[in-house]
Amino acid sequence: DTEVTQTPKHLVMGMTNKKSLKCEQHMGHRAMYWYKQKAKKPPELMFVYSYEKLSINESVPSRFSPECPNSSLLNLHLHALQPEDSALYLCASSQKLAHEQFFGPGTRLTVL
């Protein structure tokens, strides 16, 4: 299995909702990443996990809460989001930190 999967593909939520994004890989990679991508812009790094430990947090607001339950799974818990948080959320994984990253198809999030 050489791919990163993300669910759901699309998500629409209100500002008071709580939802979660899920990412999974079965390549044995030990680093996993969350990115946010706005239209016509490059991906912006949000969080990095290395060996299931949070390694990098790019000063992301606390309404985004990452979780890495095991080496194959990465979640992003969402609570009290703002309309400006609407974006494509991409997950990626790599063998280790600083190795080439493989991206999932993304979750298109719309906050109403």
Partner 1 sequence: AQSVTQLGSHVSVSEGALVLLRCNYSSSVPPYLFWYVQYPNQGLQLLLKYTTGATLVKGINGFEAEFKKSETSFHLTKPSAHMSDAAEYFCAVSGPPGAGGTSYGKLTFGQGTILTVHP
Nearest 5 degrees, angle CA 7-CA 41-CA 80?
50
For residues 15 and 54, which CB has a smaller minimum distance to partner 1 in the complex? 54
Q: Which residue has the tokens 């629409």?
A: 12
String of contacts with partner 1 for each residue 32-61, x by CB under 8 A? -x------xxxx-x--x-x----xx-----
Q: How many residues does the chain have?
A: 112
| From 13-21, 62-70, 73-81, 99-107, span contacting partner 1 (CB under 8 A) | 99-107
Contact call for residues 66 and 76 (beta carbons, < 8 A): yes
Say how far apart CA 56 and CA 47 lie, in whole Å. Answer: 5
Classified as helix, coil or strand, 30 is coil
- Under rule CB under 8 A, how many of the chain's residues touch partner 1? 28
Least gap, CB of 104 to partner 1 (angstroms): 5
Contact call for residues 32 and 55 (beta carbons, < 8 A): no
For residues 2 and 16, which CB has a smaller minimum distance to partner 1 in the complex? 2
Least gap, CB of 64 to partner 1 (angstroms): 18
- Contact positions vs partner 1 (CB under 8 A): 4, 6, 31, 33, 40-43, 45, 48, 50, 55-56, 88, 90, 92, 96-106, 108
